Structure 1
Amino acid sequence: MARLRRKSCMLLFLFALFVFGTLVGLRTLKPSDGLSDLDISPINGEKVDRRAVFSDVLSPAAQERVVASKAKAAGSHPSQDRGVSYDVHIFYYTWYGNPQTDEKYLHWDHILVPHWDPKIAASYPKGRHVPPEDIGSSFYPEMGPYSSRDPEVLESHMEQISTSGAGVVVLSWYPPGLADDHGEPSEDMVPSILDAALRHNLKVAFHIQAYKGRTEHSLHNNIKYIIDRYGDHGAFYRFSSSSGKVLPLFYIYDSYLTPTEAWAALLTSTGSHNLRGTPYDGVFIALIVDEKHKHDILAGGFDGMYTYFASNGFSYGSSHQNWKGLKDFCNGNNLLFVPSVGPGYIDTSIRPWNNHNTRNRVNGRYYETGLQAALNVQPEIVSITSFNEWHEGTQIERAMPKKTLRHVYLDYQPHEPDLYLELTRSWVEQYHKEKERFLV
């Protein structure tokens, strides 16, 4: 009898441990108020008629994908027979390099960013990553630490994005000669990116980064440069507004760093050097971080706002529970609201002190929760953070299991490497189906 009691106690203990672990995992889905306010429905939607927002027409360039697919990485799946949605935008980065193509590693060897408080920084390791076994990411790409300049990599990326159903590649962009603190200039890659996008029936929009010295005057020059140089390309994205205007769309990262009055001088019709009504007019989307920014965005003359960050609860704008209020504000002021959804978040490989902002993927459940939250507010455009921001663990690009002597990388198991591409595809079809209803 005593042995039976011990066995029963052990079984009860193991069951309690399983329940506790499950609850801890699910808690990462929504740090503020759980799942109760979201109507989570399956997103493995049926195939739908894509005439409204999907493009199924294969241009001569798109037909070349059969030839181009010979250059893709092993394990990729052709997607010529599946359309893409130009209402689903995905953030894309070209700052990676390796010795085979660039003579050195770029970004995969990212530094360990110190905390701004020296007392806290002293508790964490310093230095930088040493590829190829040790890279600046908690996941490991299926293609290894690749170069963004490798034509085969670029072809594979555009093929994967096409597979996901996202139709607009939102390219992280710096002006010629400029780059982020850890990379090198890459503006010269834009023509190749546009050509590759066109082969896969994709469009390209520009995500203008907060480079050193960025002002409303320099941004005026940036917009003119981009439109003059790339505006006639078949893959250059233009947004069709309800008013009938068809204009280029630009995302402006960290827009809040520039005074509202400066933006108004550029983006309102009475501004001293405004773009409105000129050949360089566009749809300008600002980053919403704090709640107060929505009033600055309106006063600055922007056409809309996006949330970018993939960590639910990290900022006011990135918190799913605030999206309805932001969408109502945008509706009332004739602005676009573009929620940004990510599959998870973990940047401790480069910011080891930032564990509190980690969001567990929970085998795709976190992503599904965010996608449903976006669908609930009936947005005209949805953005995905990201295709390949590996440092912050927001990528939907294919990843592989990887174990070294010092490190075990996260992966998508027990699912296949294309899990998040397929989840995105299913949701894009569901989004299109729902959008036909709420736009009536």
Structure 2
Amino acid sequence: MTTSRRKLLAALTATTLWPFTAFAQKLPQKEVLVFYYGWYGTKARTGQNIHWLNPDPARQHIADSPDYPVGGPYDSLDPAVIARQMVQIKAAGITGLIVSWWGQTDRTNDQLRLMLDAAGAQGLKVTAYIEQVSSAGGVAADTLYLHQKYMRHPAWLRRDNKPVIMYFDRLMQTIGLDGWHEAHKLIEKDAPDAMRFIGTANTLKEIAARKSSFDGLHIYSQQFEGAEFRLIPALWRARYYREWVRAQQGARVTTATILPGYDDRRLPDRKGKRPVIEREDGESFRRLWKAAIKAKPDWILIVSFNEWHEASQIEPSTAFGTRELDTCREMSAQFLK
């Protein structure tokens, strides 16, 4: 074969394969992301117990949590604690963390600085979860602050090579879709096409209304769906995740949320009948994992690593040990293959 014919064949092959290569590059990388809380403090390190109400190590009891962490209450600004947690998360097959963030002057901002380096050392990715919202201008200011301060870090979660930022549903509850559009315009003015934005939707109707305004959507407060009585739970799980992921089609990324259990009845501000999801010896979590995988989302989101108040944690506890982390390791391997 002459040199000119080889070049012609190579050019034709590249032209033929180009659409498929380009399509493959646009496919979102699968992720298993866990919601993480860095708001805990202890008297020994911080001078007061923060988010640990009346801890009693002798009885292994915390007044506002049904469960008790292995090793007892810890301080989220302790580098040794963070390093231990990152090792546990990595070993469980989880690929990244959605880190609860409550503002530029909050201790969760100090914690985020430590998280990025510790997570990066384990090959994990991190994004911030903006939870505190007062106005459209405030959302824009906080988002731009995070972009300028942290999003260049190599451990920051990215999609289309753009850093990802996520918002709790308080965004929609406080400023609504119009307020988000205003905030988005302010963000784009200073940082055009610099980020990918993941918002919240709690129903199929909300997905339809919000999908065009975000790069992706997710549900956090899934306990209300999960705690309802179902005549045939297996059929509900399959339909729920199938419809949820299908409704997101067309977004840059699709998500499915799972949780191991839920019980917030010890929180003093939660009144009336509350949703409770029993763990059923770990089977509840495993069933949700299987249904979510079958629905084929791009990302599976786990609520949560360490939300001890609501008993949704997978962090090791005296009641459950490493059971949920072991389940994550098994099921993540199936999802990510």
Q: What letter corresponds to residue 257 of structure 2 in structure 1? A: S
Q: CA deviation at 1:424?
A: 0.1
Equivalent residue number for residue 374 of structure 1: 292
Could you say which residue in structure 1 is the equivalent of 2:219? 307
The structure 2 residue matched to 1:345, chosen from 254, 262, 269, is 262
Which structure has the larger Rg? 1
* 1:310–1:345 CA contact under 8 A, matched in 2: no
Contact 2:92-2:328 within 8 A present in 1 as well? yes
Instruction: Go from structure 1 to structure 2 and tell me whether the alpha carbon gap of 1:425 and 1:277 turns closer, same or farther (over 3 Å shift).
Output: farther
The partner residue of 1:221 within 123, 141, 154 is 141
**Equivalent in the alignment of 1:95:** 39
Q: 1:216-260: per-residue Cα shift (whole Å, max 9, x none)?
A: 222222222112111222212212xxxxx3111111101321221
Paired with 2:110 and 2:274, the residues of 1 have a C-alpha distance of 37
Q: Contact conserved, 2:201 with 2:218, CA < 8 A, in 1?
A: yes
Q: Does 1:246 align with 2:161?
A: yes
Match of 1:397 in 2: 315
What's the counterpart of residue 38 of structure 1? none
Over 3 Å counting, the alpha-carbon distance change for 1:422 and 1:137 in structure 2 is same
Pair 1:283 & 2:201 matched: no
Secondary structure in 2 aligned to 1:336?
A: coil
Within a 5 Å distance, the mapping from 1:136-215 to structure 2 comes to 136-178=64-106, 185-211=107-133, 213=134, 215=135
| Partners of 1:425 and 1:277 in 2: CA distance | 41
Q: Greater share of helix residues, 1 or 2? A: 2
Q: Does 1:336 align with 2:264?
A: no
The partner residue of 1:256 within 158, 172, 176 is 172
TM-score, scaled relative to structure 1: 0.62
Unaligned runs of 5+ in 2: 1-23, 229-235
Output aligned runs, 1:427-438, within 5 Å: 427-433=331-337
Question: In angstroms, what is the RMSD of aligned CA positions?
Answer: 2.5
Q: Is the 8 A contact 1:310 1:343 kept in 2?
A: no
Q: Tell me, what secondary structure is at the counterpart of 1:324? A: helix
Seen in structure 2, the aligned counterparts of structure 1 residues 216 and 356 have a Cα distance that, compared at 3 Å, is: closer
* Cα shift at 1:274: 5.0
Given that 2:55 and 2:73 are in contact with CA atoms closer than 8 Å, whether structure 1 keeps it comes out as no
**Alpha-carbon separation, structure 2, partners of 1:103 and 1:247:** 39
1:87–1:382 Cα contact (<8 Å) kept: yes
The DSSP-based 3-state class of the residue aligned with 1:292 is helix
* Distance change >3 Å, CA 391–CA 428, structure 1 → 2: same
Assess if the C-alpha contact under 8 Å between 2:143 and 2:187 holds in 1: no
Q: Alignment partner of 1:289: what SS?
A: coil
Shift of 1:314: 5.2
Equivalences, count: 296
Gap runs ≥5 in structure 1: 1-51, 53-84, 110-128, 179-184, 240-244, 401-410, 434-440
1:130-183 Cα offsets, whole Å, 9 max, x none, are 5444412111100201111122211111111111111111100122224xxxxx
- AA aligned opposite 2:36: Y
User: Aligned partners of 1:102 and 1:419: how far apart in 2?
Assistant: 31
What percentage of aligned pairs have identical amino acids? Answer: 26
- What CA distance in whole angstroms lies between the structure 2 residues aligned with 1:226 and 1:310? 27
Per-residue deviation, residues 46-95 of structure 1 (Å, max 9, x unmatched):
xxxxxx9xxxxxxxxxxxxxxxxxxxxxxxxxxxxxxxx96111100011
* Alpha-carbon contact 1:289-1:315 (below 8 Å) kept: no
Matched to 2:121, the amino acid is R
Deviations 1:269-314 (A, max 9, x none): xx4x352894563221111124432233135x11111111352625
